[in-house]
Structure 1
Amino acid sequence: MNEVTRSRVAVIGLGVAGITSIKNLVEQGFVNVTGFERNGHIGGLWQYHDDPTQTTALKTTRTNGSKHYSAFQDFPWPDDAPHYPSADQVADYIRSYAKHFELEQYFRLSTTVLSLSPADRSGSIHDEDDDAARASSSRGDSPCRWELKYRDGSGEHEEIFDKVLVTNGPWGKAWVPFLPGQESFKGKIIHAQAYKGPELYKGKKVIVAGLGNSGADIAVSLVGRHQKYTSRIDQEHEWCLRRFQGRQSRPVDHQITRSRWIAGARLNELFPSFMTWLGSKATEILFKKTNPKYRDEWGFFPAPPLSAVPPAIQDDLIDCMADGKIHNLFGIKRFTPSGVITPSTRDGTEQLETNGDVIILATGYSADLSWCHDEASPFLDNAPEWDALTDEDHKVPYPSLYMNLFSPKSPESLAFIGPCRGFAPIEFTNFDLSSQAIGQVWKGAFPLPTLKERIEWCDDNYRANVLAGKRYRNVRPTMPPLKLERWLNDVIGNEVNERFGWGIQAWRFWWKERKLYQLIMNGINTPFVYRLWDGREGSRKKWAGARRAIYHANGLELDEKI
């Protein structure tokens, strides 16, 4: 039995990230994997739950990405699925994926993780003369196993794991601000996390604070039942996009081809200020063209760049605002006993008092890792520049992770998916590639740099995120998306970089497979491309259906011409 097969691996959280991670780890040889989930079901936030302390989709929620984007790399949606599936359909899709790949045997449901802490700093599963152990030591790594405490139906327990992958997502902890006068408000204040539908608010005047995806969906769900208002509490300009754009009503993400994404990412790295302006201007033009009822006095523009603050996706918000069913406010200044005070115009020269019975704070989330011991937590204890970007009541800790995934001090045994943003706007692809890369690093197939180099990278990335945050606040740090995607491809060894670079493999692919090349670069940007080739030995498995799935997503069959 080698190191991989005898490693005990814990995956914490069984949403899309956790389910995908278990599948990819098992596929790469980690057969002793245990997935922990506090609920009695899998699916994460896509599975509706009436617990007000859990973040879940609403019954009316649909995906923001089309089914061709929001898909697993080797398990496409059924043909009869709508372009934008409902939350229930996504939950069913996740369960079907788990059943198809026989993943249920690795799940421990209704099990709450209580703590994660180092079990030892010398109890590595490597033998003393193991090559991997010597390589780890030479890089400055601190080999560590982890003690996981959890509670299930039979009580509290402790287990030791050689490797731990935390996948409980970035939406576990509600971000609740405190505004002047809030304690004097005589109505009810809840966070969007606790909102499960409009039924409890019959006859109430509701103010929804925040215009992200949650705020927009909540406001629209209340239409026809109650009087409601929307407000952007952070006072930054925001916007909403429709799911379908253009004369042919194509899904909006079908226009984000791989060639356009690469070109935009490269130009953004070279000319960030210009591309920020250009991207925002182009999206504003598209927005106004597809939302003819929009009024300039609503003050959505200028909006932050898409790379910093992704827009909300909502099809009905602008129409509801134009019809007077939802009233726009310009950011809460303070509370009164009966409501809130907001500017009456974007410039804030005049103020308006709006009465309300219920205030719903759709003010965002952060990862909940309060159960992590200090040595396991990715959050920095001292991040004054990051903390200075917001006031004392809005603090969101900064996760310092090498390449946005690995504990810089214990990368061979501890990784996180979720606290940092991925390279793609849709999380399915981020989770799939990230977990494949983690598996390759843990197998020893792709050595990481030394501890000193990893710390230096984390410091540089911290400074870059602070600089970006001074322009537009973002609670999830990131890195240049194209660099991250290329790095993940290199770690995984899936041959994507080689087939789309300037080497002999790329030219050979372009010459011999021009139809397929054109579909991948200029057609619908599906995730199936990452499973198209065999890749490095011991990496993720090639999917035999990838080629056909790419053609099919673009409305073609293999023998048809473009």
Structure 2
Amino acid sequence: MAVSSSRVAVIGAGAAGLATVKALLDAGCAVVAYEKGDRPGGLWVRDNSSGLSPAYASLHLNTSKRRTEFADFPMPADWPDYPSASRVASYLADYAQSFGLIPHIRFGSTVTRVERDRLWAVTTESGDTGRYDAVVVANGHNWDPRYPDPAYPGTFHGTQMHAHDYRTPDVFRDRRVLIVGMGNSAMDIAVDASHVARGPVLLSARRGVHIVPKYLFGRPADATGGALAVLPWRLRQRIAETLLRLAVGTPQRYGLPAPAGGLFQNHPTISDTILHRLTHGEVTPRPGIERLDGERVMFTDGSADPVDVIVWATGYRVSIPFLSPQWLGPDPQQLPLYQRVFHLDDPSLAFVGLMQSTGAALPVVEVQAKLVAAYLSGGYALPGIDEQQHAVQRALRAAIARWGTNARPHMRIDFDRYVADLPREIAAGRNRLAGGGRTFTAEESVV
């Protein structure tokens, strides 16, 4: 084990926080993790006391287990390709137990404020304050529900809920249901509701997405991702779109709107079941909403339907409520970070998991955690600030060219490229250090 005098606070004990605690301990750092809930696993734990989990009873991975697991902790060989959320929660609990992470986590500790003075001061809801050389933010960004803004005009006399609050389809029994959104949760909830609702479930979207089944040609659909990763993304896109058309056709074939961009540009929806329910008339597509009209919803094509329940599957805000705008700027999702990890003004403030990946999250946060640990343990030197800023701008330009300006381009990463690049970045940082570059030390954390 490396020897380090760094004392580090990690905020969150979900997948990102657990990977960070492990990497820091492996590097010899002293670690304290703050977790609002009563157990490890974060958003995957459906009955977590934090109340932040969006996990519902039918939730399963939408990336295959071999493309989702931590490299340091493979998922069991006898598990299905797409394990349930409860299995993932148990996997994360086993990860924490196996690597001795539990003693380093303070459960039931909600962080309310993180401030920089001589050291970093981390204050909890109970009023306790700890002081640290560095802070790693790993609180996730799929827990603060986002509703349409501005809200649709008119009033609605039925029930409205966000997908975050959905658990089981009983809430839809014998009711007329409208799901708004085209993401993974929207499709899962529409399918669940279609088995108990009154009449077909309505699925409304202003823009389309590519729908990828979990299996293509008898294999997990993401199994070819690693093999194609060496190719430019536009070439990968053409190959993957051709395979998808051959296997299932286009979304328009099922009455859905055309995708707003190509595959690998807009995040695809992964579902085996939604196309089945569409072709059997149990889910019916609708365009975007025009207005709410009492017991009816008016759509942009002039049609209207009576509705009892609206489910807003409209995503989440990026929320880091314990950091001031001094550190986050006006919008946390536009925060520029070197390698999507290090704050440009002070790299002793780092982030793990503040990204949107084209693939699974766990391998990404694992390599991010190892990068953070290399720096905070003194084994990695960052490039100069000018080089960091140029790298951030290059990444942003490439993201805008691929995903556009309205799709959180600051946060976007290409899964395979990123997971391959970060180990190379760690090696480059070791070379910079050997060449006289400066790394983090606890003594230098004083400002």
Partner Cα distance (1:52, 1:13) in 2? 11
Shift of 1:492: 3.2
Partner of 1:313: 270
Question: 1:5 corresponds to which residue?
Answer: 4
Counterparts of residues 94-173 of structure 1 (less than 5 Å) = 94-118=92-116, 120=117, 123=118, 145-151=119-125, 155-173=126-144
Contact in 2 for aligned 1:446/1:491 (Cα 8 Å)? no
Partner of 2:191: 220
Aligned counterpart for 1:298 among listed residues 255, 258, 265 = 255
Matched position secondary structure for 1:5: coil
Q: Which residue of 1 aligns with 2:355?
A: 420
> Aligned AA for 2:230?
I
Match of 2:162 among 179, 183, 191: 191
Question: Are positions 1:254 and 2:211 aligned together?
Answer: no
Q: Deviations over 1:121-169 (max 9, x none)?
A: xx3xxxxxxxxxxxxxxxxxxxxx2111113xxx321111111111111
Q: Please say if residues 360 and 415 of structure 2, whose CA atoms lie closer than 8 Å, have aligned partners that are also in contact.
A: no
Corresponding residue for residue 432 of structure 1: 366
Among residues 34, 44, 47, which one is paired with 1:46 in the alignment?
44
Matched, 1:358 2:293: no
Please, which of 421, 443, 465 is the counterpart of residue 377 of structure 2? 443
Calculate the TM-score normalised by the size of structure 2: 0.87
> Paired residue for 2:203?
230
CA distance in 2, matches of 1:186, 1:54: 27
Q: Which residue of 2 aligns with 1:453?
A: 387
**Deviation at 1:200?**
2.1
TM-superposed CA distance for 1:401, in Å, is 1.1
Amino acid of the structure 1 residue aligned with 2:203? T
Match of 1:489 among 423, 431, 435: 423
Cα shift readout 1:181-234 (whole Å, capped 9, x = no counterpart)? 5451122222111112212232221110001011011111112100421111xx
Question: How big is the shift at 1:285?
Answer: 4.0
Whole-Å separation in 2 of the counterparts to 1:328 and 1:467: 30
| 2:437 matched residue in structure 1 | none
- Give the conservation status (yes or no) of the 8 Å contact 2:341–2:350: yes
Residues 295-349 of structure 1 deviation map (CA, whole Å, 9 limit, x = unaligned): 6261443452333322111111011011111111122222222232223xxxxxx
Q: What's the CA shift for 1:63? A: 0.7
Distance 1:472 1:150, change over 3 A: closer
Is the 1:52–1:193 Cα contact (8 Å) retained in structure 2?
no
Q: Return the offset for 1:284.
A: 4.3
**Greater gyration radius:** 1
Matching residue within 82, 85, 88 for 2:86: 88
Q: Distance in 2 between matches of 1:457 and 1:475?
A: 14
Match of 2:327 among 369, 376, 382: 376
Note if contact 1:44-1:56 (Cα within 8 Å) is conserved in structure 2.
no
| Closer/same/farther in 2, CA of residues 326 and 483 from structure 1, 3 Å limit | closer
Deviations 1:351-394 (A, max 9, x none): 211221111111111321022123333xx33x8xxxxxxxxxxx
SS at match of 1:254: helix
1:182–1:335 CA contact under 8 A, matched in 2: yes
Contact 2:144 2:318 in 1 (8 A): yes
Secondary structure at 2:298's aligned position in 1? strand
Is this contact kept in 2: 1:367–1:418, CA < 8 A? no
Q: Residue in 2 aligned with 1:532? A: none
Map 1:13-24 onto structure 2 (within 5 A). 13-24=12-23
Q: CA deviation at 1:283?
A: 4.0
Distance 1:55 1:96, change over 3 A: closer
Match of 1:193, SS?
Answer: helix
Name the CA distance, whole Å, in 1 between partners of 2:70 and 2:151.
45
* Corresponding letter in the other structure for 1:104: I
User: Could you tell me which amino acid in structure 1 is paired with residue 204 of structure 2?
Assistant: S
| Equivalent residues of 1:288, 1:294 under 8 A apart | no
Structure 2 contact 146–317 (Cα < 8 Å) conserved:
yes
Q: Distance in 2 between matches of 1:318 and 1:221?
A: 13
The size of the alignment, in residue pairs, is 426
Q: Report the AA paired with residue 19 of structure 1.
A: L
Amino acid at match of 2:222: D
Give the whole-Å Cα distance in 2 for the aligned partners of 1:239 and 1:483.
21
Which is further off, 210-219 or 300-309? 300-309
User: For 1:237-282, what per-residue CA distance to the aligned partner results, in whole angstroms no more than 9, with x for missing partners?
Assistant: 2132111110xx21112222x331111xxx23xxx5xx4xx72x54
The answer to whether the 8 Å contact 1:165/1:414 transfers is: yes
Q: Which runs of 5+ in 2 are unaligned?
A: 429-447
Distance of 1:82 and 1:397 partners within structure 2 = 34
Which one of 412, 419, 422 corresponds to residue 478 of structure 1?
Answer: 412
| 1:497-520 Cα deviation digits (max 9, x unpaired) | xxxxxxxxxxxxxxxxxxxxxxxx
Contact kept in structure 2, 1:179 and 1:334, CA below 8 Å: no
SS across alignment from 1:159: strand
- In the TM superposition, residue 50 of structure 1 has moved relative to its aligned partner by 7.9
Secondary structure, counterpart of 2:65 in structure 1: coil
Q: Tell me the secondary structure at the aligned position of residue 69 of structure 1.
A: helix
Is 1:67 the counterpart of 2:56 in the alignment? no
CA contact (8 A) 1:433 1:488 kept: yes
Are 1:399 and 1:419, in contact at CA under 8 Å, matched by a contact in 2? Answer: no
User: CA contact under 8 A between 1:421 and 1:476: conserved in structure 2?
Assistant: no
The 8 Å contact of residues 144 and 319 in structure 2, kept in 1 or not, is answered as yes
Instruction: Kindly report the root-mean-square deviation, in angstroms, between the aligned alpha carbons of the 2 structures.
Output: 2.7
**Equivalent residue in structure 2 for 1:400, among 325, 336, 357:** 336
In structure 2, relative to structure 1, the CA distance for the partners of 1:283 and 1:333 (3 Å cut) is: farther
1:401 and 1:182, CA in 2 relative to 1: closer, same or farther beyond 3 A? same
Question: Which range moved further: 74-83 or 317-326?
Answer: 74-83
Alpha-carbon separation, structure 2, partners of 1:261 and 1:114: 41
Quick one: distance in 1 between partners of 2:122 and 2:299?
Answer: 47
